[in-house]
Amino acid sequence: MLKGIHLRLSMGPLTFSPVPKVVVESLTDLQVSHQASGRSGFQFSMKVPKGGAIERELLPSRFFDPPTRVVMQLLIGGQPTVLMDGVITRHDLSQSNEPGKAALSITGTDVSQMMDLVDFTGLPMPPMPPVAQVAFLLARYVPYGIIPTLLPSPLVWVDNPLVRVRKQKGTDYGHITWLARKVGYAFFVRPGPVAGTNVAYWGPDVKLGEIQPALTVNFGGASNVESLSFGFDGIGKTQNFLWFREANSGVTVPVPLPGALLNPPLGPGFVPPLKLAQLNARPDKEDKEMTKHQVAEVIAKGLAAQAQAEDVLTASGSLDVARYGRLLEARKLVAVRGAGPHHDGHWYVKSVTTSMRRGQLKQSFGLVRNAHGSFTDKVAV
């Protein structure tokens, strides 16, 4: 590993401890991917010398069998960062006739995988609003250090258990994500802030918060990215609208959905939509009026869909972590400078893949945003 950057790799069936020295010495490469939506994943490979400890002891003892827990920490300048807390889902052994060419590849995902193993479809749920249902289901995973961060939805409903009993749909993970989609929310599990803990977030996918230090290009010795390219899909921006029928007059009107509620503009250069799309069928006079619950549900889903439709500006690139000075994190904002007034400013980090080899620690990333330019001449460095 690079000077000042160290990897701590721990494993265990549920609790974890540092891996044997032979595992660290045999590592050839490691990769961790984080996405703004969905699960995070990891993969690492090791050399497997013929007759060595990995082949003779660790594999037979099921040391690498699913769902063994894997915790990865990076120490950068003495500051620990939890890169991954997950479980092994599979391993692959590649043998070779050439000495020293046999390799073992370990693949896994974050600990939310443990929520997606048992199908509880049809199991009655307690009469609780969605946020309470999520808390109820997450309580089963306390041994994995789950810290619930749950934001109640404006859609608060509790069914009368004498009239209707809600039942679980699929696995715990499936039911939680289903509840999130119903109210236009996101659900993901993020490792940290300390080893052994994981933040389970259930709430609106709002692009606000901490601004990470600038990704700098074309700035001489201050540049910290190896590559950075931009794209603009002008046809891709869609204005979604909902049909509503006024109860008294029976008049049906289209109501456009604002994207700025969940996805505020990140620059002054507004991108006009070139496409229109309807999210619900136009009601006719024979249709029954929707309940207040149904109306609120449709609006919540629509706002989330419109927020996603706003991000038609994209960027991708790679950086050297030693030069950047820290790990770039997904699901947060980052500043860009040196790319010109049209592309400088704040961007949302949609994906990050961290790749490690001996003497090398790099990240590739994908960024999105909804407007051109920057609101300020200064960015975080």
Most confident of 18-22, 94-98, 152-156: 18-22
Same domain, 337 and 268: no
Instruction: Please state the φ and ψ torsions of residue 286, each to the nearest 5 degrees.
Output: -80, -15
Looking at residue 125, what is its pLDDT? Answer: 85
Banded model confidence at residue 282, pLDDT cuts 50, 70, 90: confident
pLDDT of residue 164: 65
- Among 255, 214, 174, CA closest to 376: 214
Query: Which of 59, 83, 110 is the C-terminal boundary of a domain?
Result: 110
Answer whether residue 182 is part of any domain.
Answer: yes
Q: Is 240 exposed, middle or buried (0-12, 13-18, 19+ CB in 10 A)?
A: buried
| Distance separating alpha carbons of residues 26 and 100, to the nearest angstrom | 11
Tokens at residue 286, please?
A: 């024979």
Q: Do 9 and 96 belong together in one domain?
A: yes
Q: Is 170 inside a domain boundary? A: yes
**Residue 244 domain-assigned?**
yes
Indicate whether 304 belongs to any domain. Answer: yes
**What range does the domain containing 79 cover?**
5-110
Higher pLDDT among residues 249 and 93, named by residue: 93
Q: Across all residues in the chain, what is the average pLDDT?
A: 88
Report which DSSP code applies to 125. Answer: P
Domain tally, the chain: 4
- Asked if 364 and 199 count as a contact pair (C-beta separation under 8 A), the reply is no
Decide which of 110, 145, 164 is a domain's last residue.
110
Terminal C-alpha separation, the chain: 25
Q: Over the stretch 102-113, which tens digit does the pLDDT of each residue have? A: 999 999 999 999
The domain boundary, picked from 61, 80, 110, lies at 110
**Residue 18 in domain:** yes
Whether residue 339 is contained in a domain is answered as yes
CATH of the domain at 10: 2.30.300.10
Residue 21 one-letter amino acid:
K
Whether residue 381 lies inside any domain: the answer is no
Task: Calculate the alpha carbon distances from 41 to 24, 124, 186, 298 in Å.
Answer: 20, 32, 18, 32
Length of the chain: 381
Question: In this structure, are 75 and 122 located in the same domain?
Answer: no
Q: Are residues 176 and 247 in the same domain?
A: no
CA pair distance 265, 261, nearest whole angstrom: 10
**318-359 pLDDT tens trace:** 999 989 989 999 999 999 999 999 999 999 999 999 999 988
CA-based R_g, the chain, Å? 24
- Do 129 and 275 share a domain, yes or no? no
Mean pLDDT confidence for 126-143: 91
Together in a domain, 243 and 134: no
Say yes or no to pLDDT of 378 above 60.
Answer: yes
**Same domain, residue pair 320 and 337:** yes
Domain of residue 140, CATH code: 3.55.50
Q: In this structure, are 344 and 319 located in the same domain?
A: yes
pLDDT at res. 380: 59
Select the more confidently predicted residue: 1 or 254.
Answer: 254
Q: Answer yes or no: is 380 within a domain.
A: no
Q: Are residues 123 and 192 in the same domain?
A: yes
Tell me, what's the pLDDT at 69?
98
Cα separations in angstroms, 78 against 25, 34, 363? 21, 23, 20
Upper half-sphere CA count for residue 304 (Cβ side, 13 Å): 17
Confidence of residue 159 (pLDDT cuts 50, 70, 90): low
183 in the same domain as 100: no
Distance of CA 336 to the CA centre of its chain: 21
Q: DSSP E strands: which ranges in 152-295?
A: 186-191, 198-203, 211-216, 225-232, 238-245, 252-256, 269-270, 275-278
Whether residues 99 and 170 share a domain: the answer is no
Percent of the chain with pLDDT over 90: 61
Domain identity same for 215 and 333: yes
